[in-house]
Homo-oligomer: A and B are copies of this chain.
Amino acid sequence: MPTKKRTVTIQDVAKKAGVSVSTVSRVLNGKADVAGETQEKILGVISKLGYTSNLAARSMRSRRKDLLGLVVPDIGFPYSIEVMKGINRAIAESKFDLLVYTMGDVHKSGAVLHEQHYVSLLNNSLTDGVLIVASAAAEFITDAPIIAVDPHIINPRYPSVQGTNYQGALDVMNYLLNLGHQRIGFVCGRPEIASAERRLQGYKDALKEAGITIDESLIIPGDFTTKSGYISTLQLLKSNNPPTAIFAANDQAALGAFQAAEELGLRIPEDLSVVGFDNISEAKFVGLTTVDQFLSEMGYIATQMLIKMVNNEKLDVQVHKMPTRLVERTSCRALEPVH
């Protein structure tokens, strides 16, 4: 094995320039205490050697890093993508850069203590503050700036941005009920996630309010994936008394419902009405009626709140509630009254 060339450090620069590391560090950080001539020489050496500072080393000693952390279980999900778009926008407008930490998958074996590991991993070590998206972690909070988008827990001990999931679900149900639908199927999200439960609760309460008894066979488990939406919808449609409409806990599951309908030769909305939740970018193209919870905006606002926290400014609210809006497209139709 060949000898590994070491990376060039501040020591190398100092030696080559004939000055001390202190002086190089001063130049790097734009301190005033350096003679113009010396500065130019050092800058020359730096670019000649191709020196770049070691983030880890710097982070350890200096408090301010101008870097925000983001923890996402899975960056491939449309949900995560939408939120990240907003975060990205806020980052672009700020002086902060962003470090995203992901495991690629929620379920993955890891080292000892991996459970806690991945949250405050960035915390106080690399970044000035951390954004957590749709995660249960960070139960144990340190006092560092942390903010959650759509937390698993309804009332986390740190600030958060949440959508009005319950109200959104009520809106969907009232919309469908007004169209004349009585038998409405519900494809659940992951039960451990608070927002999924809130939507289910909205589904149930709206039915109660309308005086319709809840048929448990119309409520099918799911996990927010397209595949689960597909399977659940098949199950619903093949039953003896299939629903006329399906409310999926998120858009991805609703997309699965589209697939199932197509496979069974059913047209949407003629033979089946479908509503989703999230308004991911695909929804527009397939004409899916859904609830916009302004995910991108949530990410944007959360980032701005985090920046405030980092700057030691006071937050206006601990929990920012983002109102949802029903987006009517072409996946639902009114039922003719039965003669």
Residues of A that sit less than 8 Å from B by CB = 1, 4-5, 7-8, 27-28, 30, 46-47, 50, 52-57, 59-60, 74-76, 81, 84-85, 88-94, 97-105, 108, 111-113, 116-126, 140, 142-144, 281-282, 284-286, 312
A7 near B74 with CB under 8 A, answer: no
In the bound complex, what is the Cα–Cα distance between A54 and B117 (angstroms)? 10
Top 8 A-B residue pairs of the complex, sorted by shortest distance between their CB atoms: A285-B285, A91-B104, A92-B104, A50-B140, A92-B105, A100-B100, A54-B125, A56-B56
Is A28 within 8 A of B126, CB to CB?
no
> Is there an interface contact between A7 and B88, defined as CB atoms closer than 8 Å?
no
Q: Are B75 and A104 in contact (CB under 8 A)?
A: no
Which residue of chain B has its CB nearest to the CB of A119?
B52
- Cβ–Cβ contact B98 & A104, under 8 A: yes
B76 touches A85 (CB 8 A): yes
30 A–B contacts, CB within 8 A, in A order: A1-B312, A7-B124, A7-B125, A28-B112, A30-B112, A50-B142, A52-B117, A52-B121, A52-B123, A53-B121, A54-B125, A56-B60, A57-B60, A60-B60, A74-B92, A75-B84, A75-B98, A76-B85, A88-B104, A92-B103, A92-B108, A94-B104, A98-B102, A98-B103, A99-B99, A99-B100, A99-B101, A126-B126, A281-B281, A285-B286
Question: Could you tell me the distance in whole angstroms from the C-beta of A125 to the nearest C-beta in chain B?
Answer: 4
Apart from A52-B116, A60-B60, A126-B126, 9 more pairs, CB < 8 Å: A28-B112, A46-B113, A52-B121, A53-B121, A56-B60, A74-B88, A76-B88, A99-B99, A100-B101
Q: Which B residues lie within 8 Å of A53 (CB)?
A: 117, 121
Shortest beta-carbon distance from A273 to chain B in Å: 20
What residue of chain B has the Cβ atom nearest to residue A66's Cβ? B111
- Residue among B5, B47, B55 making CB contact with A126, cutoff 8 Å: B55
Question: Are A143 and B4 closer than 8 Å at their CB atoms?
Answer: yes
Q: Given the known inter-chain contacts A60-B57, A118-B97, please indicate yes or no for A30 contacting B91, CB distance below 8 A.
A: no
Measured between alpha carbons, how far is A123 from B55 in the docked complex, in Å? 9
A102 touches B97 (CB 8 A): yes
Known contacts A102-B88, A113-B28; is-contact A125 B50 (Cβ 8 Å): no
Among B46, B94, B101, B113, contact of A97 (Cβ-Cβ < 8 Å): B101
